[in-house]
Every structure is written in structure tokens, then in C-alpha cells.
Amino acid sequence: MSATYESFIAAVREIGVLGSVEALLDWDSETYMPEGGLMARAEQISLIASLTHERRTSPKIGEWLSQLEGRVDDPAAQTNVREVRRAYDRATKLPAELVRRLSKVTVVSKEAWGKARADSDFAAFAPHLSELVDLKRQVADLVGYRGERYDALLDEYEPGMTAAEVEAVFTALRGPLSDFVKQIAAAPRKPDASILHRHFPRAAQEKFSRRIAEAIGFDFQCGRLDVSKHPFCSGVGPVDVRLTTRYYEDFFSPSVFGVMHEAGHGMYEQGLPTEHLFTPAGQAVSLGIHESQSRLWENFVGRSREFWEGLYPECRSNFSEALGSVALDDFHAAINIVEPSFIRVEADEVTYNLHIILRFEIERALIGGKLEARDVPEAWNAKMKEVLGITPPDAARGCLQDIHWSAGLFGYFPTYALGNLYAAQFFEAAEKVMPRLRGDIRAGNFADLLAWLRGNIHQHGMRYLPGELVQRVTGRPLSIEPFLNYVRTKFSPLYGLR
Ligand code: CO
């Protein structure tokens, strides 16, 4: 490897190290930091962030990039040069003044959003949303795009994906999925989900969640599981992954499925190539692919009949007070209840994507200048009625429910639905080469599935962009068919539909 590349990659690694320090400080502030530490922590994080920004935009990086582009042969080196170029261009195209303004407006907007949501008062949030949209339009124009403004924002979370591609997929999905949800809503059979709201002692939940994370392959030698208000997965990379969850004694699902979800993210991190630690070649490729890993374990494995055929006896003896007299069939139906609802984060796997599609349509129109902030509630409610057949009683349960827009995250929502679609396509491909997969899941053997994910997805880091990765792993471009087949095959019998 050339001396230039050696200097370049040493600098890139240090930027990665700084980023991981920031992630740990952030993890700590969500888990163990005493309240009194808040101001000091803010100062620590802000210093690290500005050091990172300074290094990332240093002219030296620009010089190295122009010397190295087209002159490296090794795939990892090519990935690093390509991805550092992308980050460098993004960062240097934005004037410092705009970046400062955006971070200030974001802090104020998040605060205003919290209050507006508590009061269910959209009018109080509208001016902030309007200002943020305006700033993000400026960001998009400066970063540049080929198709439309929204592409520049989406590219940050799902590299290479465009609004037009997302639209094509979502438009095809919207009708059939919405019809299926309405069929389920009208079905005579209704699972009794109240069994999941009996008493589930916290200590038993902790033990059981940890046991499941271990069983599916999360490595506690290189990771931890702790408690936070909102569950997440972060850390230092494959060698040190931090998962969090939360426990409700009157609700079974959040801890068990939350842990499987975060462990899915965590196992992706643990499967990234350690030899490329702290560099793009050793990092996850996109939010959508990340979410595909969490959804695959949470839903395709964790909410399957086979998984509980194996594990339910143990589950029942763990929670004998609540589940002692509940049959497997009733438990399985309850954890798979499908119901049009207002809140995205509580949505089941059939309705979930519809929540995302409406957000995508609205934020794309906002960024594209086809919708003004003040008109969001009306657009929101009309779309809810259209796709889910329900109307939110207030803005708190409508367009004010998510923090994303107040945090300046536009172009982020689609990655959740893309994750579900990728997961279905990956799972279908895995099943094709592993005909015994469902039997393995029943027997509690997850090693082959994890090895398949490692070999096909995790070990590549950022080498292939999401579109390319999906094509390589499944032999075709992103498609809605595997997801639609999956939900129809799984939920029709549960609801007595043909
Ligand atoms: Co996730």
C-alpha cells in the first residue's frame, strides 16, 4: 500500500476513533450518567464533535483523496476512498454558518416539539418545522442532486437510493398492503392480546431477554445489554456493541422483541470486519440494511411460529403466573396481532410500512416545495384515512408523534420500511439455500442463519452500496414481492383469511 494511503488511512482511523468516543459518551448519558453530569457531558460531546468535524473537513483529506482516487486496487481501500470522498464533499459543501444555524435551530425545535406534542398543539410547532424545512432545502441545494432535492437528504442514510426509486417501491406496496390490512380488520377472528398485559416480573424478563439474545448469537464478550428510556444499539464497532432495552411489568412484548431487534442490529455490528475497525470498510452500509438485520431477527425469526414452538415451554415456566394456562396458538396469535393504529412505534409488522409511506410522501412534498408546514396535519390525516382507514383524534397521535423532523431528520423515515423489505428479500434468499431453516429455528439452532448473514452481508462492511448488495445477495433488485408473500402467508391463516 502506498505511503499516501497509509497516511490517509491513519487520519481516517483517528476520525473513526473520535466518533466512537462520542458514541460511548452518548451511550453513557442514556444509561448510567447521573442527572448532574448533563452540562459537563454536553461540553465533552460538543468538543469531540467539533474536533471530528475539523479533521473530517481538513484540506489535507482533500489532497489525499485527489492523489488516491483511481489509484487504489484493494477493495477495502477503494471503499475507504469512495466513502471518505462522499463524507468530505458533504461536509465541505456546507458553510460553517449554515451548519451552526441548523444545529441551533434543531435544539430549539426539539424542545418546541416536545412541548407541542404534550399540548397536542401543532400551531406551536409549525413555525419551527417551516424553518427546518427551509434550512434542509438549502442543505440539499448545496450538497447537490441529480433527480430532486429530497435525493440529497435520503443519500445520507441510504447511499445511492433516490426518491424516485423509493416512490416506485412504495407506490406498488401501498394499495395491496392497505387492502390486506382492511381485510384483516374485517376478519371474524381476533386474537386476544390482553394476555400480553398480565404481570411479567422484571427480573424474569431480564433473564429471558438476555437468554434469547445469547441464543440467537449476540456475543456478550463483545457487547452489553443495559436499560434506557428509548431502546437503541450503538458502541465502538464489532469489538464492543452496546444494546439497550426497557422493561414493563404489565407488557411482555417490548423487552423480548425489543432485545431481539437491537440484538439484530448488534449482530450486524459484531459481524463487521474487525481488520477495518474505525474505517468505512469496517462499518455498516446504510440505515436500511441495518434495519433489515434487526427486523429479520425480531419478526421473521422472533415472531414466527417455529421460534415459539421451540421456546414457548421455557417462556411459560418463566412467566407461569401470566402464561401458565395460555396455549401456544393463543400466544403466537397475540404477539402477531394486526390492528390499524395511530402510533408508528407501536405498529405491527403489517401496518408499519403504511405509517412510513405516508411520512415519506409528506416529507418529500415538504422538501420539494409542494407542501407547506402549516398544511401537514391535514395532509397527514387524509393519508391516514386513505391507507389505514382511521383518523387521529389529535396532532399528538398524528403528525406530532415522531421526533425526527424536529431533529432535522428528513429522508430518514424510508429506511425503516426499506429495512422490512430487505429483510423479507434476504430471508427468502436464505430459505432457498437453507431448506431446513425453519426446522433449525424450531430446534433453537440459529448458527447457520447467522453465518449466512455474516458471509453475505456483514463481512462486506460498506463495500457494496445497498442496491448492489441486495442484487448480489438475492439475485435481483429490491422488490416488494417477498414482503407481500411473507405477510400473506403468515397472517392469512392467523386471521382465518383465504
Ligand atoms: Co432499529
Whole-number Å distance, alpha carbon 197 to ligand 1 midpoint, is 24
Q: Is 6 a catalytic residue?
A: no
Q: Is the domain of 53 the same as that of 98?
A: yes
User: What percent of the chain is modeled with pLDDT above 70?
Assistant: 100
Query: Where a domain ends, among 152, 172, 203?
Result: 152
Asked, for residue 325, whether it belongs to a domain, the answer is yes
Asked, for residue 158, whether it belongs to a domain, the answer is no
Residue recorded with cell 416529507: 363
Q: Is the domain of 373 the same as that of 247?
A: yes
Answer yes or no: is pLDDT of 178 > 70.
yes
Asked, for residue 316, whether it belongs to a domain, the answer is yes
Q: Identify residue 396 by its one-letter amino acid code.
A: A
Whole-number Å distance, alpha carbon 7 to ligand 1 midpoint, is 35
Q: Is the domain of 441 the same as that of 358?
A: yes
Whole-number Å distance, alpha carbon 436 to ligand 1 midpoint, is 27
- Mean pLDDT calculated for residue range 7-25: 97
The range of the structural domain enclosing residue 89 comes to 2-152
pLDDT band at 100 (very low <50, low <70, confident <90, very high): confident
Q: Is the domain of 396 the same as that of 488?
A: yes
Neighbours of ion ligand 1 (CB under 5 A): 294
Whole-number Å distance, alpha carbon 265 to ligand 1 midpoint, is 7
Q: Is the domain of 211 the same as that of 298?
A: yes
Residue of 156, 165, 262, 291 marked catalytic: 262
Whole-number Å distance, alpha carbon 233 to ligand 1 midpoint, is 8
In this predicted model, which residue has the larger pLDDT, 409 or 49?
Answer: 409
356-374 pLDDT tens trace = 999 999 999 999 999 999 9
- Mean pLDDT calculated for residue range 289-302: 98
Whole-number Å distance, alpha carbon 240 to ligand 1 midpoint, is 18
Report the distance separating Cα 409 and Cα 406, nearest Å. 7
Q: Is the domain of 307 the same as that of 412?
A: yes
- Mean pLDDT calculated for residue range 20-49: 93
pLDDT band at 148 (very low <50, low <70, confident <90, very high): very high
Report the distance separating Cα 318 and Cα 324, nearest Å. 9
* Residue 223: C-alpha distances to residues 7, 143, 458 (Å): 31, 36, 17
Answer yes or no: is pLDDT of 1 > 70.
no
Report the distance separating Cα 154 and Cα 363, nearest Å. 11
233-263 pLDDT tens trace = 999 999 999 999 999 999 999 999 999 999 9
Domain total of the chain: 2
Asked, for residue 112, whether it belongs to a domain, the answer is yes
Answer yes or no: is pLDDT of 107 > 90.
no
Q: Is the domain of 126 the same as that of 184?
A: no
Q: Is the domain of 106 the same as that of 167?
A: no
Q: Provide the phi-psi class of 445: left if phi over 0, else alpha when psi is between -120 and 50, else beta.
A: beta
Nearest to 338 by CA among 350, 354, 352, 355: 350
Report the distance separating Cα 282 and Cα 236, nearest Å. 11
Report CA torsion sign: 453, 488, 437, 190. Answer: positive
Whole-number Å distance, alpha carbon 6 to ligand 1 midpoint, is 35
Asked, for residue 157, whether it belongs to a domain, the answer is no
- How far does CA 62 lie from the centroid of its chain? 31
Q: Is the domain of 195 the same as that of 316?
A: yes
- Mean pLDDT calculated for residue range 5-15: 98
Query: Where a domain ends, among 152, 184, 199?
Result: 152
Whole-number Å distance, alpha carbon 29 to ligand 1 midpoint, is 20
Query: Where a domain ends, among 132, 152, 172?
Result: 152
Whole-number Å distance, alpha carbon 293 to ligand 1 midpoint, is 8
Average pLDDT of the chain, as a whole number: 96
Asked, for residue 251, whether it belongs to a domain, the answer is yes
Q: Terminal CA-to-CA distance of the chain, rounded, Å?
A: 61
Asked, for residue 485, whether it belongs to a domain, the answer is yes
Q: Is the domain of 322 the same as that of 174?
A: yes
CATH code, domain with 486: 1.10.1370.30
pLDDT band at 96 (very low <50, low <70, confident <90, very high): confident
Nearest to 65 by CA among 107, 113, 109, 7: 7
- pLDDT at site 188: 85
CB 440, CB 434: distance < 8 Å: yes
Answer yes or no: is pLDDT of 354 > 90.
yes
Q: Is the domain of 91 the same as that of 128?
A: yes
- Quick one: cell of 99? 451548519
153-168 pLDDT tens trace = 999 999 999 999 999 9
Report the distance separating Cα 235 and Cα 388, nearest Å. 37
Answer yes or no: is pLDDT of 498 > 80.
no
Q: Is the domain of 192 the same as that of 279?
A: yes
Which of 101-110, 219-228, 393-402, 407-416 is least confident?
A: 101-110
Answer yes or no: is pLDDT of 30 > 70.
yes
CA-CA-CA-CA torsion for 289, 294, 297, 298, nearest 10 degrees?
Answer: -140
CB 266, CB 241: distance < 8 Å: yes
Burial class, 167, CB count within 10 angstroms (exposed 0-12 / middle 13-18 / buried 19+): middle
Answer yes or no: is pLDDT of 2 > 80.
yes
Report the distance separating Cα 174 and Cα 159, nearest Å. 23
The H or E element spanning position 237 is: strand 233-237
- pLDDT at site 327: 97
pLDDT band at 463 (very low <50, low <70, confident <90, very high): very high
CB 217, CB 298: distance < 8 Å: no
- Quick one: cell of 334? 397475540
Asked, for residue 206, whether it belongs to a domain, the answer is yes
Whole-number Å distance, alpha carbon 291 to ligand 1 midpoint, is 5
Whole-number Å distance, alpha carbon 143 to ligand 1 midpoint, is 27
